[in-house]
Amino acid sequence: VQLQASGGGLVQAGGSLRLSCSASGSTLDIAAMGWFRQAPGKEREGVSCISSGGGSSYYADSVKGRFTISRDNAKNTVYLQMNRLAPEDTAVYYCAAGPHLVPRGCFWYSDYEDYWGQGTQVTVSS
């Protein structure tokens, strides 16, 4: 499985961006999908994850009410709509997918990390 992320960029505080991540290859076992981010000098954190059917999702406290995750299974794509962006949202955002990704909590089961996409930079200026 290959994950291709896009949609990052530079935006002013209060602005919006929409990240996309499309899966290709053997997509039958994608299961949950989600987004992580890592800011300079900080640990990677799970931002938002969504179950295979879309019925269950998770948001980090820092993004609740501002970010919305969704997926289109027909296109094997997950989206992250980011509104009211703040400078502290600045990070490299990575999409992730796989049967070991736990959508409730956005973490890897048994630390087995199935699939990662390349990072996309999101920079929010104040």
pLDDT, tens digit, for every residue of 42-94? 999 999 999 999 999 999 999 999 999 999 999 999 999 999 999 999 999 99
pLDDT, tens digit, for every residue of 95-105? 999 999 999 99
Give the separation between CA 59 and CA 62, rounded to whole angstroms. Answer: 8
Task: Give which of 3, 25, 17, 39 is closest to 84, Cα–Cα.
Answer: 17
3 and 114 Cβ atoms separated by less than 8 Å: no
